[in-house]
Every structure is written in structure tokens, then in C-alpha cells.
């Protein structure tokens, strides 16, 4: 029986793909895997029993995945599984940001007991006049799963769309409308924009990337949306830009103590991915990743280990070695196998960044002493006997 500890609220129907032979357990201690969403686990001691963690969602800044790689824990996320949900909300808010929809609705509510409201509305509606988004310029920062969908939707709305993403993947480039203009410099992207929307992961080079300089390059009265992470947009700079009118409205998914008190700021409580469809598809993808890793050693969508597939083991045994991406690891692993006269049926090695993964099938089970020798190779982080 394999065991999974669930942290956060994972929707039940998303768990439907958990295979037989799996059990949800109340504690991480002793569990084989953790399934989670946004809880910050930087301060958590991840028990040695845990072989993998799947984040049902995109952002992994809440997980110390580099440290966990060295602990032999594979961390997964679910790229793209919630991107349509974010796109739909961002497009809705973009339209709301162009018209004072909320102000108009507030006016109506305030006049709910006024018998002349219907007639007064005609006189008052001038106060809520907005603008159309068609032909306006929007800058999209980050053209991944969410950003590319937002950019394409803005093209469909008739906007002039520019995008900035120095690390754009080939897959996402293929998905992008040819009407999106790529811009190679962030400041150039911001210059003359009426709208700016941010869709990058939180990392060293993105924290504070939208600051005073970038906001000053927007057209006066611009609308800014942050459905990425709270500190990608510098709050000091944003508050000043809102106070001066340089930014007319700011939509953010992050209820920080500061954003909740900023003028002309509309805060949602991290509900960018909050649809039944997105929650279920993230959970299903995360469960599939965990199960394929625990059962077969295959790695799909990991953020700290390379992609690696060897299908289902047809030999007597399958072993996976999780180790540092340094020279001579394969040489040392095969030397141990040669000493043991092990007959290797299939073997694969992949690396990504600082981590590497070697997996092999043998036609006999290896003695515990051989596994011990593999484990004691310097820079070996974990050896798993999968079958
Ligand atoms: N509010 C929500 O509920 C919600 C939902 C999904 C994602 N997110 C956030 O949005 C982020 C993006 O999600 P995604 O699914 O599109 O991820 P993604 O990985 O598909 O896309 C991120 C894109 O940002 C680009 N990028 C990285 N560094 C950059 C930089 N310095 N400048 C410009 N571009 C850069 C990458 O090349 C990539 O194309 C996530 O990491 C997460 O933090 C929030
Ligand atoms: O990174 C993400 O996928 C989003 O921030 C959504 O997070 P959540 O699933 O915890 O709401």
C-alpha cells in the first residue's frame, strides 16, 4: 500500500485517478508522497519517507525544490492545467478595468430605496463612462501557459498586443498568435501601454520587476493586473503611481496588508485558478504524476529533476538513482553493477540543472548490499528500488 499526505484543499473528483493500492494518510511522517497547493512548506521538515511532492498548480515558490532535490525528493507541478481559468478572470477584469463597472453597481445599490433611482441613473451615468479596449495597447509580461492565452484573447478583443518573455519556450511560441508583437526589453514593452498584465513565476529576477521605472513608462491612466505573485509588482511604486493617477486601477490576486489599503486597487483572494475545472484538472494531473513516479519511476513535469520515461518495468527489478549532475556518476553506477554481475536490460540517464536521474531494469533482484554500495557513491542523493 502506498500512502499520500494531502496538504491544502484538493477537490475530490480530482482525486478520482488515484489508483488502487493507494491510501490517503493524515501525517507526512511515513507517507510516500505529498499532494498540495499553495501552503508554504519552506519551514517544514520533509520526512525521509517522502519520495515526491506534487503541487496541483503552476507556482512552486512555496516549495524549497532545490533543497528537496538533494534530499532525493522529486517535486512536480501541473503546467497549464489552470491557465484557462486565470485567462478568463484576467480578461474579465481587463474589461471591468476599462469601465467603472463596480462604481456604477455601487451607485445602484446605494440607491436601492430611492423611488427616483431609474430617472436619476440617466443623469448620473456620465460619472461611469469608460473606454473601449479595442485598439488600446497591452503589454503581457511572461508568455507561458497563462500569458500566451491572455495575449491571444487580447488579440481577439482587437487590442494591440506586445509580449515580453526572454525565456519563451518553443511550445508556447507555437501557441502564440502571430499578431502578438514580441518585445526584447521590459522597458520597451511598458512604454506607451494602456494596460499591463504580469504572468511570470516568482523568482530572483522577477521579484519587483514592475517598479517605478516601468510604471512611469505606461500611458497616464493605465490599468495594471497582477495575477502572478504578490511581489512581482513593487508595492511602494504601485501605491505612488495610483496616488498620482499614472495608474488608474490596479487588479491583484494577492491580499497583502498593503494592497488591501491601496487606493483604486481591486483585490481578489488568490482566486485566479478558482474554477471547478481548473481545480480538478490540476489535481488529476498531479495525481497522475505522483502515481507514475511511485509505481514506475517515470518523471513528468518535475521542477527539480529531468523528465525521464522507461514505461512499465518488464524485468524482475527496477532501480532509480537520484544524484548530482556531476561527472562519472554513470561510470560509478555501472562499475557497481558490473561487480555484482547484474544483467541490465534497460538503462537511461537524464539531467537537468544540478540534478540527474539514472534508472535501470535488471533481470534479477539486486542484493541489499549492492543497493547499499550504490547509495554510498559520493553525490548519490537517493537510491529507490521501485520493483
Ligand atoms: N493567481 C493564480 O491563481 C495563478 C494561477 C496560475 C499561475 N499563477 C502564477 O503565474 C505564473 C505563471 O503561470 P504559467 O502557468 O503561465 O507558468 P509558465 O511557466 O507556463 O509561464 C511562465 C512564463 O514566464 C516566463 N518568464 C520567466 N522569467 C521571466 C522574466 N524574467 N521575464 C519575462 N518572462 C519570464 C517563462 O519563460 C514562461 O514562459 C506562475 O508561476 C504562478 O506564480 C497564478
Ligand atoms: O500557481 C498557481 O497555480 C496558482 O497560484 C493557484 O494556486 P492555488 O491552486 O493554490 O489556488
- Which domains are delineated in the chain? 1-82+275-305 (3.40.50.720), 84-98+132-267 (3.40.50.720), 310-387 (3.30.70.260)
Ligand 2 contacts CB of residue 37 (under 6 A): yes
pTM of the model: 0.96
- Cβ contacts of 244 within 8 Å, gap of 6 or more: none
Residue 76 reports pLDDT greater than 90: yes
Count of CB atoms within 10 A of residue 224's CB?
Answer: 28
Confidence of residue 101 (pLDDT cuts 50, 70, 90): very high
Smallest Cα–Cα separation from 88: which of 149, 144, 131, 145? 149
CA 229 to ligand 2: nearest atom: 5
Q: H or E segment at 248?
A: strand 247-252
> pLDDT tens, 222-273?
999 999 999 999 999 999 999 999 999 999 999 999 999 999 999 999 999 9
Q: Whose C-alpha lies nearest to ligand 2, atom 11?
A: 273
- pLDDT given for residue 40 in this prediction: 97
Q: Note whether 89 and 271 are within 8 A (CB).
A: yes
Using only C-alpha atoms, the chain has a radius of gyration, in whole angstroms, of 25
Q: CA 13, 15, 21: angle at the middle one, nearest 5?
A: 135
> pLDDT tens, 126-168?
999 999 999 999 999 999 999 999 999 999 999 999 999 999 9
**Of 61, 92, 146, best ligand 1 pocket probe by most atoms within 8 Å of the beta carbon:** 146
CA 279 – CA 281 distance, rounded (Å):
6
Percent of the chain clearing pLDDT 70 (strictly above): 99
DSSP letter (8 states) at residue 126:
G
Q: Whose C-alpha lies nearest to ligand 2, atom 5?
A: 59
203 Cα to the center of ligand 2, angstroms: 16
In the three-class reduction of DSSP (H, G, I as helix; E, B as strand; rest coil), residue 323 is classed as strand
Average pLDDT for 158-183? 98
- Which ligand minimizes its atom distance to the CA of 202? 1
Ligand 2 contacts CB of residue 58 (under 6 A): yes
Mean pLDDT of the chain: 97
Strand arrangement of the beta sheet that strand 344-352 belongs to: 344-352, 355-362, 317-324, 380-385
> pLDDT tens, 79-92?
999 999 999 999 99
CA 57 to ligand 2: nearest atom: 3
CA 386 – CA 366 distance, rounded (Å):
12
Q: Note whether 359 and 310 are within 8 A (CB).
A: yes
- pLDDT given for residue 285 in this prediction: 96
Confidence of residue 16 (pLDDT cuts 50, 70, 90): confident
Ligand 1 contacts CB of residue 282 (under 6 A): no
- Which ligand minimizes its atom distance to the CA of 148? 1
Average pLDDT for 61-69? 98
Q: Alpha carbon of 67 to those of 144, 193, 301: distances in Å?
A: 25, 40, 18
Ligand 2 contacts CB of residue 145 (under 6 A): no
Amino acid at each position: 500500500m502506498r500512502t499520500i499526505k494531502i496538504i491544502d484543499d484538493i477537490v475530490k473528483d480530482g482525486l478520482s485517478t488515484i489508483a488502487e493500492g493507494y491510501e490517503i494518510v493524515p501525517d507526512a511522517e511515513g507517507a510516500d508522497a505529498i499532494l498540495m497547493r499553495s501552503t508554504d512548506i519552506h519551514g517544514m521538515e520533509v520526512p525521509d519517507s517522502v519520495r515526491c511532492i506534487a503541487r496541483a498548480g503552476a507556482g512552486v515558490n512555496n516549495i524549497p525544490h532545490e533543497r528537496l532535490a538533494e534530499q532525493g525528493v522529486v517535486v512536480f507541478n501541473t503546467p497549464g492545467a489552470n491557465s484557462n481559468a486565470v485567462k478568463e478572470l484576467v480578461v474579465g477584469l481587463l474589461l471591468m478595468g476599462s469601465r467603472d463597472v463596480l462604481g456604477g453597481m455601487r451607485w445602484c445599490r446605494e440607491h436601492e430605496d430611492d423611488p427616483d433611482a431609474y430617472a436619476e441613473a440617466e443623469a448620473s451615468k456620465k460619472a461611469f463612462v469608460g473606454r473601449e479596449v479595442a485598439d488600446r495597447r497591452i503589454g503581457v509580461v511572461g508568455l507561458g501557459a497563462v500569458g500566451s492565452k491572455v495575449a491571444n484573447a487580447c488579440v481577439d478583443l482587437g487590442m494591440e498586443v506586445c509580449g515580453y518573455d526572454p525565456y519563451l519556450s518553443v511550445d508556447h511560441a507555437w501557441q502564440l498568435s502571430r499578431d502578438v508583437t514580441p518585445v526584447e526589453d521590459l522597458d520597451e514593452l511598458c512604454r506607451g501601454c494602456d494596460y499591463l498584465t504580469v504572468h511570470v513565476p516568482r523568482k530572483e529576477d522577477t521579484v519587483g520587476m514592475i517598479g517605478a521605472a516601468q510604471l512611469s513608462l505606461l500611458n497616464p491612466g493605465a490599468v495594471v493586473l497582477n495575477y502572478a505573485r504578490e511581489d512581482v509588482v513593487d508595492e511602494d511604486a504601485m501605491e505612488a503611481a495610483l496616488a498620482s493617477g499614472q495608474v488608474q486601477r490596479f487588479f491583484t490576486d494577492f491580499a497583502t496588508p498593503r494592497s488591501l489599503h491601496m487606493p483604486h486597487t481591486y483585490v481578489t483572494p488568490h482566486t485566479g485558478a478558482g474554477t471547478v475545472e481548473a481545480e480538478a484538472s490540476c489535481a488529476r494531473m498531479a495525481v497522475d504524476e505522483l502515481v507514475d513516479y511511485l509505481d514506475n519511476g517515470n518523471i513528468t513535469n518535475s521542477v527539480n529533476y529531468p523528465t525521464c520515461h522507461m514505461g512499465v518495468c518488464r524485468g524482475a527489478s527496477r532501480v532509480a538513482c537520484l544524484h548530482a549532475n556531476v561527472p562519472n556518476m554513470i561510470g560509478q553506477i555501472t562499475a557497481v553493477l558490473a561487480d555484482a554481475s547484474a544483467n541490465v536490460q534497460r538503462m537511461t540517464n537524464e539531467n537537468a540543472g544540478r540534478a540527474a536521474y539514472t534508472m535501470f531494469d535488471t533481470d534479477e533482484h539486486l542484493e541489499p548490499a549492492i543497493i547499499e554500495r550504490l547509495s554510498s557513491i559520493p553525490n548519490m542523493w537517493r537510491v529507490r528500488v521501485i520493483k
